[in-house]
Amino acid sequence: MTKAHHTRMYGKFIIVIATIAIILISQQSAHAQWIQTNGPYVSYAKSFAAIDSVVFASTDEGVYRTTNGGDSWENTGFKKSYYYTNPDIVTIGKIAFAISGKTIYRSTDLGSKWDSLVTYNDGIYAFSSSGTNLYVGLINGVALSRDSGATWVDIGQQIGTEVNEVAFDSMKIFASISSKIFQTNDFGKHWRAIINNYGITKIRAKDKDLFLSSSDGGLYHYKELDTGWAFVESSLLERVVTSITFLGTSIIVGTKSGVYISYDGSKSWSVFDSALIERQIYDIFVYNTRIYIGASDGVFISSDSGKHLRETEIKNYIPVTSFLINDGFTLFANLYYSTDQGNSWVLTYPNFSKDDGLSGMCKMDTSIFAISRVGRLYVSNNHGFSWVQISFDPRLRFARLGSIENVLLAGIYSNGILRSTNRGLTWIFTDNYYPTTMFTTSGSTVFSASDYDDLHRSTDLGLTWENITLNLGSDAVNAIAADSPYVYVCPYNGISRSTDNGDTFTSFKNSISSMQFNAIVISGNSVIAGNDSGVFISNDRGETWRQANDGFERNHRVRSLTKVGNMLYADGSGVWKRPLSELSVSTMKQHSEGAITAMPNPLNSVTTISFSTTELTPTTVSVFDLLGKEVAVLFNGVLESGKHEYSWNSRNAPQGMYHCVVRMGEITKEAQIVVVR
């Protein structure tokens, strides 16, 4: 065998081995990644529309559709939306329209693809269709399109203020503002005010009847006479009405507490279905032989004029932020809980609805405490299955909760910290009057902070506090974590560490120095942090970092992290999980492979990067600036074991500090490089 042939054979052997290694590593990575749990999700719809046999439902997570009468739903190409008014999806013929923020979108293929039509920078406040016409309520009147959204004309300048509803009756158009209803019989050439009423939120017209709801509650019924519009007695005056529709000669209204129907022109009302009595209703849609009802926790459908209802699921993963906590047994994500590592989720109500708002949650001994935005405190002693109200204190409005031993702490964004030693029955102010939105506890020490003002520490169970912001070097704190004697703080940029329980802090000068982080947890020698770019992990207490985003969706934003046993959970659209063992890399193994060196350093032209590997490893060698921008890729491929050297020419790099980052499989190493001129 010739030397050349031997060399070719050896080269092929190396390529085969490298290929096998990459395949094995890829297969391992396919399993070593974040997995989205089965929820939490919420099944609801804010409004409905239909084209032939396709019914659309609009939600906060986009537009869904069903082709089988609601038995199953699928997400259309309209993935994410934010709505001002209801309805926010309408149809004309075979075309569907939806709004997202300030923009109107159109689909001509039953929702598979959506194209933007027009953007109104001042916002869209009403969205309706009638016949072949499309109407939008604007901050200064009404706009009309007669050609499926291609062109628009202003027809409501005479109204001159924010139009929140548009309704129709034959040739009449009605437009409402917060205190008046206007009418035009000539498509907007002339408008006249016909009804004055405070806080108008919704209007509907039928024949010569006009119905309106008020923000103070109640349904108002007006009938058109030769002398004008006259008020008709209506008994439904104590409910906040959210939806008005018609079923034959009957009137159906949705409220914040159920659905009601009138068979006598609004004089008397009956409960439509007792199953809906405690539910907030978003919209009621009558189409062909079915009634679709969008409620706060489900979509209900009737095929027999309301005699029987069935519930259907639209699985929207809800955004989970701030309240991803656990009590060692149950994982809580906002007001949802899971006892099986996220395989199933249950919505738990501490006697206030999720629309009233959750302000804070915390764990103390075996109990979970939750507080509403208005200051009602609840406790669950059975892992979230049931709740009991403890107290109501208006001073705790919009409070965040923390605990240390048997003391509850309530942080107020506007005026400091309150303390309770009797499990929330009574509260007193501490000497910390600084805005507070977060707590963390380490042994007998508790730390508090807010996202724009001061880091504090208490060593007497929250009774007295000392300001340690000067030790940190920043007055903004986005997240804190502690495991005595270590304290990790996420200030405006980067991450700082204390090894003496907060007496002194050191700011890391590495690849994450310029990044902002929203959450941080500690697990042994590992530190895991989350930001708008996903999750970063350090296995050497913060000295070096690497991204750990395998399995995440693109641009996955992390606001909250928690660990339960050997499982790490992250928020986002729903809850994601990953075993901590996948993220742990032996620090000893990293150190045994030696450090990265750069010679010369500082430099003004070329430096040589040196490092060693101990096995066949996929490797990338890159240089980053302090903003995290990659300025050079020196190598990207598979390396054999041994020492390796690569040169970086800094002639196009401005003076300053840079980081050389070498990623070898699951191991990441860094070296600082200083360029001088």
- pLDDT band at 177, cuts 50/70/90? very high
SS3 591: helix
| pTM (whole model) above 0.85 | no
Are 654 and 543 contained in the same domain? Answer: no
**Residue 314 near residue 75 (C-beta atoms within 8 A):** no
Burial label for 52, CB within 10 Å (0-12, 13-18, 19+), is exposed
29 pLDDT exceeds 70?
Answer: no
Asked whether residue 214 is domain-assigned, the answer is no
In this prediction, residue 470 carries a pLDDT of 66
| Domain tally, the chain | 2
In this prediction, residue 635 carries a pLDDT of 92
Token couple for 464: 């007295």
- pLDDT band at 355, cuts 50/70/90? low
- pLDDT band at 626, cuts 50/70/90? low
Asked whether residue 213 is domain-assigned, the answer is no
Are 510 and 401 contained in the same domain? Answer: yes
The mean pLDDT value for 64-81 works out to 84
Are 640 and 521 contained in the same domain? Answer: no
Please count the other Cβ atoms lying within 10 Å of the Cβ belonging to residue 488: 25
Asked whether residue 570 is domain-assigned, the answer is yes
In angstroms, the first-to-last Cα distance of the chain is 55
CA distances 208 to 213, 222, 566, Å, are 17, 8, 66
| Helix or strand run (H / E) with residue 166 | strand 165-169
What percentage of the chain reaches a pLDDT higher than 70? 90
The mean pLDDT value for 632-658 works out to 87
SS3 515: coil
In this prediction, residue 602 carries a pLDDT of 86
Token couple for 584: 């742990």
100 pLDDT exceeds 60?
Answer: yes
In this prediction, residue 371 carries a pLDDT of 94
Domain boundary among 552, 582, 612: 582
Are 608 and 558 contained in the same domain? Answer: no
SS3 397: coil
Are 574 and 600 contained in the same domain? Answer: no
201 pLDDT exceeds 70?
Answer: yes
Please count the other Cβ atoms lying within 10 Å of the Cβ belonging to residue 51: 17
- pLDDT band at 456, cuts 50/70/90? very high
- pLDDT band at 16, cuts 50/70/90? very low
Q: Which long-range contacts (CB under 8 A, 24 or more apart) does 481-487 make?
A: 481/440, 481/520, 481/521, 481/522, 481/527, 482/440, 482/441, 482/442, 482/445, 482/447, 482/522, 483/442, 483/522, 484/442, 484/443, 484/445, 486/442, 486/522, 486/541, 487/442, 487/447
Asked whether residue 441 is domain-assigned, the answer is yes
| Top mean-pLDDT range of 11-15, 258-262, 273-277, 583-587 | 258-262
In this prediction, residue 137 carries a pLDDT of 93
CATH number of the CATH domain containing 375: 2.130.10.10
- Candidate from 183-192, 343-352, 425-434, 439-448 with smallest mean pLDDT: 343-352
- Candidate from 304-308, 316-320, 455-459, 619-623 with smallest mean pLDDT: 316-320
The mean pLDDT value for 169-188 works out to 91
Are 341 and 434 contained in the same domain? Answer: yes
- Candidate from 7-16, 105-114, 259-268, 383-392 with smallest mean pLDDT: 7-16
The mean pLDDT value for 111-131 works out to 90
The mean pLDDT value for 257-278 works out to 90
The mean pLDDT value for 94-107 works out to 90
- Candidate from 138-142, 260-264, 293-297, 324-328 with smallest mean pLDDT: 324-328
The mean pLDDT value for 28-44 works out to 72
Token couple for 367: 């109990």
Are 393 and 341 contained in the same domain? Answer: yes
In this prediction, residue 533 carries a pLDDT of 87
Are 522 and 596 contained in the same domain? Answer: no
Are 652 and 635 contained in the same domain? Answer: yes
Radius of gyration of the chain (CA): 31
- pLDDT band at 356, cuts 50/70/90? confident
d(CA 36, CA 148): 39
Q: In sequence order, what are the residues at sequence separation of 6 or more whose Cβ sits closer than 8 angstroms to the Cβ of residue 57?
A: 45, 47, 48, 63, 64, 65, 66, 73, 89, 292, 294, 299, 314
The mean pLDDT value for 222-245 works out to 87
Between residues 20 and 423, which one has the greater pLDDT?
423
In this prediction, residue 82 carries a pLDDT of 43
Asked whether residue 558 is domain-assigned, the answer is yes
Of 360, 366, 350, 365, nearest to 406 (Cα)? Answer: 365
What is the chain's mean pLDDT, rounded?
Answer: 85
| Top mean-pLDDT range of 2-16, 307-321, 357-371 | 357-371
- pLDDT band at 627, cuts 50/70/90? low
Domain boundary among 531, 550, 582: 582
Are 353 and 407 contained in the same domain? Answer: yes
In this prediction, residue 147 carries a pLDDT of 93
CATH number of the CATH domain containing 629: 2.60.40.1930
- pLDDT band at 563, cuts 50/70/90? confident
**Residue 159 near residue 191 (C-beta atoms within 8 A):** yes
Between residues 348 and 80, which one has the greater pLDDT?
348
- pLDDT band at 585, cuts 50/70/90? low
Q: In sequence order, what are the residues at sequence separation of 6 or more whose Cβ sits closer than 8 angstroms to the Cβ of residue 357?
A: 372, 373
- pLDDT band at 260, cuts 50/70/90? very high
Are 366 and 485 contained in the same domain? Answer: yes
Domain containing residue 477: 319-582
CA distances 304 to 276, 290, 300, 310, Å, are 17, 7, 13, 11
In this prediction, residue 5 carries a pLDDT of 43
Please state the three-class secondary structure of 309-336 as a single string.
CEEECCCEECEECCCEEECCCCEEECCE
- Candidate from 16-30, 106-120, 470-484 with smallest mean pLDDT: 16-30
Asked whether residue 400 is domain-assigned, the answer is yes
Domain boundary among 582, 599, 632: 582
CA distances 252 to 21, 229, 258, 503, Å, are 66, 22, 11, 65
- pLDDT band at 71, cuts 50/70/90? confident
In this prediction, residue 175 carries a pLDDT of 95
What percentage of the chain reaches a pLDDT higher than 90? 43
Are 512 and 605 contained in the same domain? Answer: no
Between residues 315 and 165, which one has the greater pLDDT?
165
SS3 542: coil
Q: Which residue has the tokens 């054979």?
A: 9
Asked whether residue 657 is domain-assigned, the answer is yes
Asked whether residue 553 is domain-assigned, the answer is yes
